[in-house]
Structure 1
Amino acid sequence: MPVAVACRGLKLARQPYYRWLDDPVTPAKARRGASRARAVLRPPRRPGVRLPLPGRRGPRRRSGHGRPHRVADLPKQPVVERVRQKKRGRTKKAGPPVHDDLVNRAFTATGPNLLWLTEITEHPTGEGKLYLCAVKDVFSNRIVGYSIDARMKSRLAVTALDNAVARRQDVAGCILHSDRGSQFRSRKLVQVPGRHQKVGSTGRVGAAGDNAAMGSFFSLLQKNVLDRRTGATREELRIAIVTWIERTYRQRRRQAAPNRLTPVEYESVMTTPALHAA
């Protein structure tokens, strides 16, 4: 029978037949291929990949002319994938608000020390993360207090608020607005506004717009300082942040909200003696 007729009847191509004639499959290769196929298709005893115990070697692989390790000898088999365990991340829900939202996204004030905003942000460095807590006066957009530390604890927010109170002094009746982070719900920080005759205010969970005016300051900090420095140490980044806040943001950077003036210029112009003189 001609080869073409036989291959047509068996629904096979002629090329594999001629390849087999050049290199026929010996009985040893057939047995070896069958044993490897059974090893691949054998169901595991339990899900996952079996690894050798510590101090023990895996199965020995022989090499030589009698048992060549050829991938071509193995038939195409389905891929056996390892069963991966799902990562279970612990999500910590925000606790109940300690204060009501007294701002309602109305970030305006008729005078200084009437509405303060505060928030904490983190910045990566070559030595680890660096955390910044800043307090902003909505009247002039001035940063009246801040604190920088390598750990994000309640003392970071307490130090920033104490710094702002020491600088402004007369803060009776001022509203301190923040998000619902654990640092701002801590017992230490909750006691600070009452000690200085301040009123607390807290935004909602997952609502970035409730403290958007504070986020705009951190956006400027990111563009002007953090995006321009890579691989800095904590001390280098701390000096860069303090220099930009004290020298550039407060005294040089003009803002659209306070009549194209810097925060320091706007406060000096809009004080009570200046208004009486006008």
Structure 2
Amino acid sequence: MDTSPGAPPDSNPKAANTVWVTDITYVYTLSRFAYLTSVMNLFSRKIIGWQVLDRLSTEHVLKAFENAIMNQKISQPVVIHSDRGVQFVSKSYLEGTPAAHFIHSSSKKGTPYNACIEAFHALIKPGINDLSQILFQRL
């Protein structure tokens, strides 16, 4: 498995499902905060998988990838680029995103190179904070 640090191999891919980027952010609710993991297709800049939970775990991240995989047609290995967060370098994550389907790429320490997904999270955070107050009242 390639987990070499650096920028995504192709920051402007020419086709869908060649490079995905992922990250985790937190959102505030009325009584606590929750975690949003998003998976973005770098070609279209669309969110293709996501998961919101009140706890942060590798399982949480893998559920976001399950959503992405269910929504996409993958015909060749996809580069997955992430930061070096604990969830993205764990054994469970690497096993849950196998090398037969994914090529792992991660940012250099202290240099995220994940601007697209981070910009998306910054853009939606004000609105999702309001929405999450409604959603988490049901939990």
Q: TM-score interval w.r.t. the shorter chain?
A: 0.7 to 0.9
Following superposition of structure 1 onto structure 2, how do residues 142-221 of structure 1 map, counting pairs within 5 Å? 142-194=46-98, 197-208=101-112, 210-221=113-124
Identify the range of structure 1 (169-178 vs 190-199) with the bigger mean alpha-carbon deviation. 190-199
In 2, distance between residues paired with 1:145 and 1:231? 17
Q: Which residue of 1 aligns with 2:19?
A: 115
What is the number of equivalent residue pairs in this alignment? 138
Letter in 2 for 1:165: I
Percent of matched pairs sharing the same residue = 22
Displaced runs of 4+ in structure 1, greater than 4 A? Answer: none
Are 1:122 and 1:131, in contact at CA under 8 Å, matched by a contact in 2?
A: yes
| Aligned counterpart, 2:125 | 222
Change (3 A) 1:125 1:106: same
- What's the counterpart of residue 235 of structure 1? 136
- Deviation digits for residues 70-122 of structure 1 (CA, Å, limit 9, x no counterpart): xxxxxxxxxxxxxxxxxxxxxxxxxxxx7113635852110000000000001
Q: 1:165 to 1:196 in 2, by over 3 A?
A: farther
What does 1:1-278 align with in structure 2 at a 5 Å threshold?
A: 99-101=3-5, 103-104=7-8, 106-194=10-98, 197-208=101-112, 210-226=113-129, 229=130, 232=133, 234-235=135-136
Contact 1:126–1:234 (CA<8 Å) still a contact in 2?
no
Question: Given that residues 29 and 136 in structure 2 are in contact (C-alpha distance below 8 angstroms), is that contact kept between their aligned partners in structure 1?
Answer: no
Greater Cα radius of gyration, structure 1 or 2: 1
Superposition deviation, residue 162 in structure 1: 1.2
| Partner secondary structure for residue 119 of structure 2 | helix
Q: Deviations over 1:222-248 (max 9, x none)?
A: 24443xx3992552699xxxxxxxxxx
Higher strand share: 2
1:157, CA displacement in angstroms? 0.6
- 1:120-153 C-alpha deviation (Å, 9 max, x unpaired): 0011212211110000001111111011111001
Structure number with greater CO (CA < 8 Å, separation at least 6) is: 2
> How far has the Cα of 1:171 moved from its partner?
4.9
Using the alignment, how far apart are the partners of 1:125 and 1:113 within structure 2?
33
- Runs of 5+ in structure 2 lacking a partner? none
Q: In the alignment, is the contact (CA less than 8 A) between 1:115 and 1:177 conserved in 2?
A: yes
CA deviations over 1:239-264 (Å, ceiling 9, x no partner): xxxxxxxxxxxxxxxxxxxxxxxxxx
Contact 1:174 1:198 (8 Å CA) reproduced: yes
Q: TM-score, normalised by structure 1?
A: 0.45
* Shift, 1:169, TM fit: 3.4
Is the partner of 1:159 in helix, strand or coil?
Answer: helix
| Letter paired with 1:167 | N
